Amino acid sequence: MLISKKVLFEECPRHGQSPLNLPLMHVAAGFGNGIPRLQKPRSSSFPFREAGISIVTSVPINRQMPPVDLLHERGVEVSVGNDNIFDVWSPLGNGDILERAGRLAERFKWIDEVSLSRSLGYITGGKTPLDDKGNQVWPKVGDAGSLVLIDASCSAEAVARRSESKAVIYKGSLVSGSLYKQKQSIER
């Protein structure tokens, strides 16, 4: 459902309704159409955040897209997604969301270890293993046992190198892959 900025921020208040009373809304804004050109924040007030609108981008190549860093800085929930397994905008790609996180880091030149690890939050609902001070915040005892095990030494490597998924665990059960290294035979 798309609602114009005019309806959301002009018509609702005129009729005595707050945009905050609308159902939770995610705007699929792969190209950033309709998102105002943002500069560095002049105030902490931002209509998308105040209205509870989140943004989902497919991180298109060579096309306009939302200013993810500034939206996030202003408190707007931003996530990376695909339209489906094979993106409807292009036949290229494999539907791998970790690859999309790497593309996001590439687009915004997030090339240091901290920035790369932070880009993981855009595909995990905001969860990253470490907080801004380096303290482990995920996983914790009691968290749902749903995760993907990646062949990487850290989050930054997983994003930058598009590391291979080794196993998928859902609610504590292995549903794909293996938890053990496979022995490779040497044929002569």
- Assigned domain for 127 exists: no
- Assigned domain for 150 exists: no
pLDDT at residue 23, as a whole number: 46
pLDDT at residue 54, as a whole number: 85
Residue 144 contacts by C-beta under 8 Å, 6 or more apart in sequence? 171
pLDDT at residue 1, as a whole number: 36
Number of domains making up the chain: 1
- Assigned domain for 37 exists: yes
- Assigned domain for 174 exists: no
Would you say 38 and 70 are in contact if contact means Cβ atoms under 8 Å apart?
yes
- Assigned domain for 88 exists: yes
pLDDT at residue 19, as a whole number: 47
- Assigned domain for 46 exists: yes
Closest Cα partner for 35 from 23, 24, 47?
A: 47
As a whole number of angstroms, the distance between CA 136 and CA 61 comes to: 33
Query: What are the average pLDDT values for consecutive 10-residue runs of the chain, which has 188 residues?
Result: 46 50 50 52 64 84 83 89 65 82 95 95 93 90 91 94 92 92 67
Question: What is the value of pTM for the model shown?
Answer: 0.73
- Assigned domain for 181 exists: no
Helices (H), 61-172: 68-73, 97-107, 113-119, 155-160
Residue linked to tokens 């990253």: 128
- Assigned domain for 146 exists: no
Give the strand order in the sheet containing 25-28.
Answer: 25-28, 53-57, 78-80
DSSP string, 70-98: HHHHTT--EEE--SSSS-TT-S-S---HH
Range of the domain at 78: 1-95
